Structures are given as C-alpha cells and as structure tokens.
Structure 1
Amino acid sequence: MPHDTAPRSARTVAVGIPTPEVLALLPLPVEMTDLQQQGRICVYGRKALSTEAAVDLGERRRDGVLVFPRACQPCVSRAAMSVLLDHSSGPDACTECKREPICEFGRALNRVIRMGQR
C-alpha cells in the first residue's frame, strides 16, 4: 500500500470494501474499561496507544453508551485473522470462499491483517 497521509480509519483496504467497514466488524471484548471505551488503550491488549499507532475501530453503541474503541496494529491483525478464519472455514463458511480462493470480504480482512504486521 502506498504511504497515505489520510487517517488510518479513512483509508480503504482495497478496491471495494472501505477499511472502516471491515474494522467495524471486528468483535470487541464483552467487558471494557472506561479507558478502552474512550480509545485511550487497546481494546484487546490494554496497551497505551499513541495517536499515530492507534487503529480506530469506529464509533459504536454498547448498552446505550457511545464508545470509541481503538486498538494497536498487532491486535487488529489478530482480531482480523480470527474473523477471517470464522468467515472462510468450517461448515458455516462463506459459500464464495468455498468456491473461489477468497471473496472480497476475505481479501479486505487479509489487507487489515497485513496492515497490523507492518
């Protein structure tokens, strides 16, 4: 991916599915601290986040409260990998992924995974 000055959440991972749409599908922990809900620490690893290193997972509503989850890139990669495995394998796998190497959603998840490995 060429270097981009746009915020990470505004970039697209591919022709097709924008990054924010893919990131919004990553599951959040059931329990989150106030700092996680505010996006100050990683929702997965609870590591302190800098503005430059944080990946915005999109504004979400939980139990009637608006939260602003963010995560570090390695944790986003792991979460996307988990979603990709659920999406593309097993008895409830994506029918398109069963026929083709991978569907558009799977490709978008792969790009999010690679984003976390840089």
Structure 2
Amino acid sequence: MPETIQPAALRTDGVLQLPLPALSLLSDLQRRGACCAWCRTTLTAETAVDAGERPAVDGGQLFPRGCRKCAGRAAYQLLWEHSRACDVCRTDPTCPVSVAATRLMQEAEL
C-alpha cells in the first residue's frame, strides 16, 4: 500500500478529506485538481469530486480532486480506517464521517 497523507476526515463544510497518494507522487496538475489525484484522468467541473483542500507537507497548498471511481475507493479506505477507531461509529450509524463516506461510495457506484 502506498504512503498516504492522513486526513482530518471531515471539514466543517462537510467535504471529506480523502486519503491521498504520497505527495511526492502527485504532479502539479493533480495538486491543483485538474487531474484525478489517483489515476491522472483529466477532470471537469462535472466529473470532479473534491478530495478536500489541505496544506501540503512541503508548505504549499493542495486542491486535490478525483474521478468518481477513484474518490469512491478512497472514501471506502477512509471509512474502513475511520470506523475501526471511531467510538461514535460503534454506537451511532449517523456518524458524519461515515455518512459522508458512504454517500460518496454510493455516488461512485462501487
């Protein structure tokens, strides 16, 4: 499994911060969201899924986006990692992170 940037999970605006490939693997186009952060497919406003803006470890800023399929897979990875450590998920099926990840997975039609 490639190195990932660990997400803060859910921003206050409800956007998931999906786990990304290692920063060293992302091109400039991927960093600014013009191409999928995972498969490098060129994205449009209609095809892109926000992967969660965040500061980069090298001091820059990331605006990653992904195609629906890759973002859905990243949401699945996030849900798997999150739910194992989340006390809310163990007792409440409405944990905001789990709900957002599940919705993204359904939209991706995985």
Fold match, TM over 0.5? Answer: yes
CA distance in 1, matches of 2:105, 2:13: 14
Counterpart in the other structure of 2:107: 115
Q: Give percent identity, aligned residues only.
A: 40
Tell whether the 8 Å contact from 2:38 to 2:70 is kept in structure 1 after alignment: yes
Is residue 36 of structure 1 aligned with residue 27 of structure 2?
A: no
Q: Provide TM-score, normalisation by structure 2.
A: 0.73
Runs of 4+ in 1 over 3 A off after TM superposition: none
TM-fit CA distance, 1:51: 2.2
From the superposition, tell whether residues 59 and 108 of structure 1 become closer, same or farther in structure 2 (CA, over 3 Å).
closer
Counterpart in the other structure of 1:106: 98
CA distance in 2, matches of 1:85, 1:42: 21
Is residue 84 of structure 1 aligned with residue 76 of structure 2?
A: no
In structure 1, which of residues 64, 72, 78 is the aligned counterpart of residue 59 of structure 2?
Answer: 64
From the superposition, tell whether residues 103 and 38 of structure 1 become closer, same or farther in structure 2 (CA, over 3 Å).
closer
| Rg larger in structure | 1
Tell whether the 8 Å contact from 1:58 to 1:68 is kept in structure 2 after alignment: yes
What code does the residue aligned with 1:83 have? L
CA distance in 1, matches of 2:59, 2:32: 15
- Structure having the larger proportion of residues in strand: 2
From the superposition, tell whether residues 38 and 105 of structure 1 become closer, same or farther in structure 2 (CA, over 3 Å).
closer
CA distance in 1, matches of 2:75, 2:55: 20
Q: Provide TM-score, normalisation by structure 1.
A: 0.69
Name stretches of at least 5 consecutive residues in structure 1 with no aligned partner: 1-16
TM-fit CA distance, 1:88: 1.5
Counterpart in the other structure of 2:48: 54
